[in-house]
Structures are given as C-alpha cells and as structure tokens.
Amino acid sequence: MPTGEAVDRLRPHVAGGRVLEVGVGTGRIAAPVASIAAHVTGIDNSEPMLEQFRAKGLPGNVELVRADFRRPLPVTGTFTAAYSTMGSLACVSSRSELTRALTHVRQALEPGAALCLEYYSTATYRPLVDLHTLTVPTPDRPGTTTFTVTLDDAGILTMDTRVDEDGKAPVAFGEQVLLIERDEVQACLARAGFTVEDVVPAGEHEPYDWYTARADG
C-alpha cells in the first residue's frame, strides 16, 4: 500500500500515542508516523535495514531495536498501538508460530491498544500459485519482473523474484511466508489475545488484506 494511504489508516490509532512498529525496515512508515505519534519504537531482525534507517537520520522520538518477533520482544514499557505493514508478520513457518509472534506483540501492548497489520491475501496469491510463473513490466523503469510462486501443503508460499532491467544485470531474491485464509489469520489473532474489529480485503492486484484488532483487557 502507498505510504500516504497506510499512514492515513494508522492515524486514528497512533496519533499522540506510544507506538510499536513490527518490521520497521528502513523507516518507510515509521518516519511519517513519528510526526503524529508521541514516540515510535521500531523492531526488525535485519541490522542492515536498521542501519539504512539510521543513515537517513532518525526523528528524535524514534527508537530502533533489533529483535525477532518470534521471541519475546526486548522493549521497555507498554504501547498504546502497534502496526506491521507489508506482510512482515507472515514471515513464520506455521500457524502456531504466527500465534506466538502475535502473543509477543500483545504482551507489549496496553489493554485496548490497537494492532493494525497487513497480511498476504489468498485472493491475490492463490491465482499466482496456479500460474506458477508470471512476467510483468516493471513499474517506473524499463524491463520486466518475473515471479515464480509455489505453495506447499503446510501453507508456506515461496516466491522467487527476478528483475530484469534494460542494460543492467538481473537482480534476484526470494521470500517465504505463511499463506493462510482470512479466518485463520483472525483465529491466530484471537488466540493471541486480540479481538478483530475490521478487515479490509485487498483490492484488485493488491497483495495484502488490512486487519484492525484490539488488545483484550
């Protein structure tokens, strides 16, 4: 989702609050959120990404912590809201691991705190699995991007991406995520101590559903 749209969706939950971002990366969302929140703590297990964020110049109310959300979070105090974009919380190997990750987030939140998250949409990705390989023009640059997608019996989606830009060497990378149906994501949230308030399905050709949940008291 474009940065501005994501921040607009988050605004009612993060304005003036103490906020946790899970999978902060290079700060695409955290930097604008910092302008409306009282404090932002961003966690990520990639030190190179955190270094890129630091190199841009951290807002004074942003703290970065290297952490793996599959383990209890090494953060101080509790937060009034949390969010996770671009499907970061799907980087798990099973439904039970997703529930544990969400539980770790819940443990860092005040009762009633909002959790907003983007999660991979089966409506978008299952057709890609059926195609297996798809090549499309790369947005905003000359060349193509090729996706090779597989899904195993445990729900692990493997997506290999190759970017061929005219006049440059190809760039290839891959990712594995847990692809499960919307009701299963909601069940994991419930087991972790959240009540789901709203789900906005992904639009056509969009990768993620948007969930809004509330930490149980």
Residue-range domain boundaries for the chain: 3-121+180-215, 123-178
Q: How confident is the model at residue 167 (pLDDT cuts 50, 70, 90)?
A: confident
What tokens were used for 68?
């793996």
Category of 16 on φ-ψ map: left (φ > 0), alpha (ψ -120 to 50) or beta: left
Give the pair of three-digit tokens for residue 105. Answer: 């987030």
DSSP secondary structure of the chain: --HHHHHHHHHHHHTTSEEEEES-TTSTTHHHHHTTSSEEEEEES-HHHHHHHHHH---TTEEEEE--TTS-----S-EEEEEE-TTGGG-SSSHHHHHHHHHHHHHTEEEEEEEEEEEE-HHHHHHHHHH-EEEEEPTTSSEEEEEEEEE-TT-EEEEEEEEEETTS--EEEEEEEE---HHHHHHHHHHTTEEEEEEE---TT--EEEEEEEE--
CATH T-level fold of 3-121+180-215: Rossmann fold (3.40.50)
What integer best gives the mean pLDDT of the chain?
Answer: 95
> What pLDDT sits at residue 217?
86
pLDDT at 77: 92
Place 165 in a pLDDT band, splitting at 50, 70 and 90: confident
State pLDDT tens for residues 32-62: 999 999 999 999 999 999 999 999 999 999 9
**92 contacts 98 by C-beta, under 8 angstroms:** yes
pLDDT of residue 142: 85
**For residue 171, what pLDDT is reported?**
92
Q: What is the pLDDT of residues 91-132, one digit of tens each?
A: 999 999 999 999 999 999 999 999 999 999 999 999 999 999
